[in-house]
Structure formats: C-alpha cells, structure tokens
Chain A
C-alpha cells in the first residue's frame, strides 16, 4: 500500500484497469482450457472405444479361426488412426494373440483386464470384451496418447496470451483516454487547492465539467470556497471596523481634554498627553517610572484603578470619585475621577478619566462664601428693617407726647389768658393746634405704614359687598354723592383689616378729591384666575399721567395741605398692603376724566399658603 499510495491517481487507474483486464482474461482462459480438456478426454474415450469395438469386430474371425497373421494385419490398420499408439488382442484365455505398436520403443507392459477405460500417466487405456454368438471370445486393448490434447492446449494458450497482450495494450490506451475524464477535474481541483493555499486567493473557482461525483465534489468545493471567501470578506470588514474603532478610541484618548490613564496589573500602563501635561514633568522622567510619578500626584489613582481592574467599577461606592492631585511644581488640582473596566491589549485593565474640577470647586466655594455673605446681608437687612420699623414706631410714639403737650399747653394758655388775648392771637393759637393735628396725622400715617407687613392681623372670611357697605357708612358721604357697588362681589378668607384699609383709603380719596356735588364712585370686580381685580373709579378731575408715579410715594401730595388736609400716606399704604399680598395697584387716569384705581387681591391669602 505504501508504494501504491505514492502513485498518481492516473497511474493507479491504469494499473487497476490493466490488472482487471488481465485477471478477467486469465480466469476466462482457465475456464476454457479446463472445458477443452474435459471435452477432449470425452471425445478421446468415445473415439477410442468406438475404434476398439470396430477393431474387435474385425478380429472376431481371426480369433475364431486362430489366424494370427490376419489378426496382426487387422490391428496394423490401426496405424491410420493417429491417436492409437498401441493395440493388443487377447484370446479367450487372456493370452495376447496379436499386437500393434506405433513405435518400436514402446514397451508398454501388457496387462490383461476384462474391461475398463482409464487414464494412466496421460495415456488412455481401453479394454473391451469381444463377443461372438453371446460368448466372450477375447478382449481388445487400445492405448491412446494425449499428445494431441497437449498440442491443442499449447496452441490455445498461445492464442490466449496473444489476445491478452492485445487486451492489455487496448486497456492501457483506454485507461489513458478515460482517465482524462476522471482525473483531469481532480488534477484541476488539486492545482486550484495548491494555488489557493499558496496565494490565499479565495476568488478562484474550479470549472465543473461533469455531473458525476467529481462534478458534485467540485461544486461542493466551489460552494465551500464561496463561503470561505464570504467569511474572509466579513472578517476583513470586521477587522477593518475593529481597527477603525481602535484608532478612534486611541484618538479620543489622545485628544481628550481630560487626563486619562490605564492601570493594568496595578501598574500604570498608559497616560494620555493631557495627563502628561498635567503632571508638568519632563516626559522622559515620567516614562522612566510612571508609577512613582503618578503615585506622587495622587495615591488614589493606582489603588482605585487596581480595584476596578479586578472587580469592575461597581465596587466603587460612588460612580464618581473626587481626588486631589499635587504636581511637582506644587499646584493642587481637584478632579473628578470616572473609572471603567476595559480591555487593554486583550487583557483586563481600568481606564480612568480625570476631569479637572478645580475651577468648579473654587467657584462653588466662592459661591458658598457669597451665599453666606448674602445670608448675612439678608439677616442684617431683616434686622435693620425690623429696627427701622421699631424705630419708626417708637419715634412716632414718642413724638406724639410732646405734640400733645404743645396742643394742651396752647389751649390752657389761651384759656387762662382768655381776656388778654387778641383775635389775632386766638387765630394763631388755632393755627398752632391745626399744625399739631397735621403732625399727629403724619405720625399716625408713619405708624400705620410701618405696621403693614409687620403686624399680621387675623384671617377672616370677608364678604366684600358688606365690607364696602360698612366702609361707605363709616365715611358718610354727602347725600348727593353716589357710591355704586358692582355685582358679583366675592367672599374670601383674608386679612380683613388690610383689605378694609385699601378700600377705605381708595374710597375716601375719591370722595375727598372728586370736587363736585354729584360725585360718583363705582366699584367693580373681575375674576382673574388666582386674583380678584378690583376697580375703584370716580368721576372727579382725574390725575395727570405725569403724576401717576408720585402719588404712591409716601408723604407725596398733589395739592397744598392747607387746601386738602392730607398726609400723603394713604396711597402708599394701599400700595404697600397690595404688594405685600403679591398683587399690584395701578392708576388709569387723565385730567377731567376721572381716576381709576385697579388693584389685585389674591383669592388665597399668602398667609394661608405659607401655613
């Protein structure tokens, strides 16, 4: 087999074809020869026996008449039969009577037998009894050689060999021709395989020339090639993508504005340019011992990196850690570290990103300081406001005592000197007390103003309609005056005292300044979602728009106080109350067209909202 396996398929095919042909021919020849021998022997036996019988019949007379010469003559005729080598005629006493031999050297021993036909030593022996009148009178023996058979077989074998030779030649030719159909595709297959394996060119294909097993094999091979080629392309694309992504990843790390590092095996495996810049050391110093340099910068970097590298970022109690870093030049950095477990050169590692939050921290600190400062200011402001209110309250209170004293004393002087004083002095005394009254009103105004927002009065359910009616009753307008209260006045829970102050001030203002006997004051309400919008409108002289800003300023009056006794506090109180409730008060007015004060009042009092 060892030798056979080295032969080419082509040689193998030829050998097999020739062998098969030779074996077939050989087997066929053997069968034919065997058959030839059997037929020849049978023919020989029959012929010899027939000749024996004929010769026996011719010899009957000779035997009966004991004529030996005639018997010899008869037997000698057998020389014409080519096969017969010898003949013996035995008499009834089994004694030889006559004989014949073809050659003189023939020394065949003559043994007598009654009857029988047998081969002995390639010689056919035939014994036949000779009968006459039903009586055995002798026995004839013939001996026949097989030389002719041998000659026949030799001849036959020669022919066969010649035929075999021709067959082998033909078979070889046939094999040579037929193998082209069989081995050529295989050879092609082999050649293609070799090409593919040496060039890695999977785009090659084997031509399919037949539909037999080889054809199927070739098709299968081509399919396989297609799949490999497809896979190759896919792998190429994937590799390309991996390369691209790796280079992108690398780019991102290198271009990143954040310092980035890789810890692998507890050691610094990589520092990006930003980190190198941050360390502020010669690059060769960093390259010489990055671990020591980074440890000097911050002791946390390697320890947390190692932790994340082996366990993943989830071991960190917080996803973002805050470290402080110290450079060799003594700068301190605050940074936020973000750690992730990654693959670095196909082994687990930790990728850390340091975001410089130094400025943010400083800003936060500043902001906190500013916040503290602001809180301090607010507290101070609150305190000073409180003090101011207290001051306003106490001073106005204390101012009233001497005022009262002046008023009382002036009256007692007037009374005690009643007879002595002139009419002029009485008038001056009245003027003096008038100014005292005005001053008291001013002081009361300050007091009231200082109380708004400072003193909380009770929250009550207020029916605005009845509140307005009460106010009008209290103000007691002249009979010709009309105060109209519009429809849909609400009922709400609020500081009754404050809204009463607002309406009382606005209505009394209207009554005071309307300046005509048929004065008309109208009060409306409109629902404005979270507010009620109230309007107090009169048909008086109106107010020039250039004064609209001034009228809400405390102590500001538009008329001489001697003409209209006014403190100039009322509207400023209105404004303060309304704004304290989160609303606003506006004035819409033109000269000669009346004044129209509009203010908002919350449906739900802020005191309720704040609990």
Chain B
C-alpha cells in the first residue's frame, strides 16, 4: 500500500462537495494514503492533466475516479478526450456515479473504463465500496 502511494496519485473528478467529502472520509476510514487530487468538472480535469494547471499535480495520477453528471464537460465527454489523447489513454478510470442509465454504462465501458460503480447511498456502504476499489487497484499492476 505504501508503495502504491509513493508511485502514483488518484484524480477525483466530482462536482458534488459532499461526494468529495464522502470519498475523502472513506479514504481516511480505509487508511488510504494515496494522494487525492480533485477536479470539479471535465474541463478542470483536462487542465490539470494536460496543463496549464498540471503543476497542481505533484504526482501524475494513474487512476481517475470519474463522476458522469457534471457541469461544462461531463464524465463521458472527458473519457473521450482521455482515450483520444496518447499521453492520457492509459489512465485507469473508474466511474463513480449515481447514474444507472444504460446508455451511460454502455458508453463508459466502450471507452474502456475499469469499473462502473453506483454511489451507495449510505456512507457505510460507500466506505465498503472504496475499500474494495483500493484492494482492486492494489493487486493490479499499473502502467
């Protein structure tokens, strides 16, 4: 776990402040030390990943936790940008959303997401989900 934390960081793209808190608290509860950066929508995320705000990312992330319904540029649009960019296309993306829309699910998987997780309503279950996620990326070798 420490190794992963040293090697990489996680970018959370989420517009809901409570959800951001949710993730941060769940990280804390699960004792995840991997640096977590937050972008409030797709445009901000791209600015951070490609510049001009790339300096904000001290460690370049290998994992992205992506919400779908966001202002300006939504998750699916951001995914298209990422998969169309040679530098970013290898990012491991997990969709973390409230949208159970079939179209969103299909679009997401056709853009090679590593998982599509519906945000659990209760915090306990959220903590559980984040725990499972962290175990998942820890047993995987990342590029």
Give residues in A with beta carbon < 8 Å to B. 393, 397, 400-401, 403-405, 407-409, 411-412, 433, 436-437, 440, 447, 455
15 additional contacts, CB 8 Å, given A397-B98, A437-B121? Answer: A393-B101, A397-B69, A397-B99, A397-B101, A400-B121, A401-B16, A404-B98, A405-B18, A407-B122, A408-B126, A411-B124, A433-B122, A436-B121, A436-B122, A455-B102
In the complex, what's the smallest C-beta–C-beta distance from B78 to chain A, in angstroms?
A: 19
Q: A397-B69, A412-B25 are in contact. Are A407 and B100 (CB under 8 A)?
A: no
CB pair A404–B69 under 8 Å, yes or no, is: no
Q: How far is the CA of A440 from the CA of B19 in the complex (A)?
A: 17
Residues of A within 8 Å of B99, CB to CB, are 397
Is there a chain A Cβ closer than 8 Å to B22's Cβ? yes
The 5 closest A-B pairs by CB, nearest first: A405-B18, A411-B123, A408-B123, A404-B121, A440-B121
Residues of A within 8 Å of B25, CB to CB, are 408, 412
CB pair B101–A407 under 8 Å, yes or no, is: no
Partner among A401, A412, A455 whose Cβ is within 8 Å of the Cβ of B98: A401
Give per-residue flags for B125-139: 1 if the beta carbon is below 8 A from chain A beta carbons, else 0.
Answer: 010000000000000
Is there a chain A Cβ closer than 8 Å to B83's Cβ? no
Q: How far is the CA of A9 from the CA of B102 in the complex (A)?
A: 127
Residues of A within 8 Å of B126, CB to CB, are 408
What are some 23 contacts across the A-B interface (CB < 8 A)?
A: A397-B98, A401-B16, A401-B19, A401-B98, A404-B19, A404-B98, A404-B121, A405-B16, A405-B18, A407-B122, A407-B123, A408-B21, A408-B22, A408-B126, A411-B123, A411-B124, A412-B21, A412-B25, A433-B122, A436-B121, A437-B121, A447-B100, A455-B102
Partner among B18, B101, B102 whose Cβ is within 8 Å of the Cβ of A404: B18
Partner among B69, B121, B123 whose Cβ is within 8 Å of the Cβ of A412: B123
Minimal Cβ-Cβ distance residue in A for B126: A408
Q: A393-B101, A397-B98 are in contact. Are A409 and B18 (CB under 8 A)?
A: yes
Q: How far is the CA of A397 from the CA of B118 in the complex (A)?
A: 11
Minimal Cβ-Cβ distance residue in B for A399: B98
Residues of B within 8 Å of A412, CB to CB, are 21, 25, 123
B63-105 residues with Cβ-Cβ distance < 8 A to A are 69, 98-102
Q: How far is the CA of A177 from the CA of B124 in the complex (A)?
A: 157
CB pair B119–A404 under 8 Å, yes or no, is: yes
Minimal Cβ-Cβ distance residue in B for A408: B123
In the complex, what's the smallest C-beta–C-beta distance from A454 to chain B, in angstroms?
A: 10
Minimal Cβ-Cβ distance residue in B for A393: B101
Q: A407-B121, A407-B122, A412-B123 are in contact. Are A400 and B98 (CB under 8 A)?
A: yes
In the complex, what's the smallest C-beta–C-beta distance from A148 to chain B, in angstroms?
A: 170
CB pair B18–A408 under 8 Å, yes or no, is: yes
Residues of A within 8 Å of B124, CB to CB, are 411
Residues of chain B at interface, number, CB under 8 A: 18
In the complex, what's the smallest C-beta–C-beta distance from A217 to chain B, in angstroms?
A: 113
In the complex, what's the smallest C-beta–C-beta distance from B112 to chain A, in angstroms?
A: 22
Residues of A within 8 Å of B121, CB to CB, are 400, 403-404, 407, 436-437, 440
Residues of A within 8 Å of B122, CB to CB, are 407-408, 411, 433, 436-437
In the complex, what's the smallest C-beta–C-beta distance from B106 to chain A, in angstroms?
A: 12
Q: How far is the CA of A403 from the CA of B16 in the complex (A)?
A: 12
Q: How far is the CA of A393 from the CA of B98 in the complex (A)?
A: 12
Q: How far is the CA of A447 from the CA of B18 in the complex (A)?
A: 23
Minimal Cβ-Cβ distance residue in A for B98: A400
Give per-residue flags for B14-35: 1 if the beta carbon is below 8 A from chain A beta carbons, else 0.
Answer: 0010110110010000000000
In the complex, what's the smallest C-beta–C-beta distance from B21 to chain A, in angstroms?
A: 7
Minimal Cβ-Cβ distance residue in B for A406: B18
Residues of A within 8 Å of B18, CB to CB, are 404-405, 408-409
Q: How far is the CA of A401 from the CA of B119 in the complex (A)?
A: 9
Residues of B within 8 Å of A447, CB to CB, are 100
Residues of A within 8 Å of B19, CB to CB, are 401, 404-405
Q: How far is the CA of A78 from the CA of B3 in the complex (A)?
A: 218
Residues of B within 8 Å of A433, CB to CB, are 122
In the complex, what's the smallest C-beta–C-beta distance from A429 to chain B, in angstroms?
A: 12
Residues of B within 8 Å of A400, CB to CB, are 98, 121
Residues of A within 8 Å of B123, CB to CB, are 407-408, 411-412
Q: How far is the CA of A216 from the CA of B53 in the complex (A)?
A: 142
Q: How far is the CA of A408 from the CA of B22 in the complex (A)?
A: 7
Q: How far is the CA of A447 from the CA of B118 in the complex (A)?
A: 14
In the complex, what's the smallest C-beta–C-beta distance from B109 to chain A, in angstroms?
A: 15
Residues of B within 8 Å of A404, CB to CB, are 18-19, 22, 98, 119, 121
- Identify which of A393, A404, A411 gathers the most chain B CB atoms within 10 Å of its CB: A404
Q: How far is the CA of A393 from the CA of B104 in the complex (A)?
A: 13
Minimal Cβ-Cβ distance residue in B for A410: B123
Residues of B within 8 Å of A403, CB to CB, are 121
Q: How far is the CA of A160 from the CA of B127 in the complex (A)?
A: 178
Minimal Cβ-Cβ distance residue in A for B15: A401
Q: How far is the CA of A404 from the CA of B25 in the complex (A)?
A: 14
Residues of A within 8 Å of B102, CB to CB, are 455
In the complex, what's the smallest C-beta–C-beta distance from B31 to chain A, in angstroms?
A: 16
Q: How far is the CA of A440 from the CA of B118 in the complex (A)?
A: 13
Q: How far is the CA of A401 from the CA of B16 in the complex (A)?
A: 8
In the complex, what's the smallest C-beta–C-beta distance from A495 to chain B, in angstroms?
A: 13
Residues of A within 8 Å of B16, CB to CB, are 401, 405
Q: How far is the CA of A440 from the CA of B18 in the complex (A)?
A: 17
Q: How far is the CA of A377 from the CA of B124 in the complex (A)?
A: 49
Q: How far is the CA of A436 from the CA of B126 in the complex (A)?
A: 15
Residues of B within 8 Å of A408, CB to CB, are 18, 21-22, 25, 122-123, 126
Give per-residue flags for B30-45: 1 if the beta carbon is below 8 A from chain A beta carbons, else 0.
Answer: 0000000000000000
In the complex, what's the smallest C-beta–C-beta distance from A598 to chain B, in angstroms?
A: 31
Residues of A within 8 Å of B100, CB to CB, are 447
Residues of B within 8 Å of A407, CB to CB, are 121-123
In the complex, what's the smallest C-beta–C-beta distance from A407 to chain B, in angstroms?
A: 5
Residues of A within 8 Å of B119, CB to CB, are 404
Residues of B within 8 Å of A437, CB to CB, are 121-122
- Identify which of A400, A407, A447 gathers the most chain B CB atoms within 10 Å of its CB: A407
Q: How far is the CA of A393 from the CA of B119 in the complex (A)?
A: 16
Q: How far is the CA of A464 from the CA of B79 in the complex (A)?
A: 40
In the complex, what's the smallest C-beta–C-beta distance from B121 to chain A, in angstroms?
A: 5
Residues of A within 8 Å of B98, CB to CB, are 397, 400-401, 404
Minimal Cβ-Cβ distance residue in A for B17: A405
In the complex, what's the smallest C-beta–C-beta distance from B86 to chain A, in angstroms?
A: 34
Q: How far is the CA of A397 from the CA of B124 in the complex (A)?
A: 20
Residues of B within 8 Å of A397, CB to CB, are 69, 98-99, 101
Residues of B within 8 Å of A405, CB to CB, are 16, 18-19
In the complex, what's the smallest C-beta–C-beta distance from A244 to chain B, in angstroms?
A: 81
In the complex, what's the smallest C-beta–C-beta distance from B51 to chain A, in angstroms?
A: 31
In the complex, what's the smallest C-beta–C-beta distance from B95 to chain A, in angstroms?
A: 14
Residues of B within 8 Å of A440, CB to CB, are 121
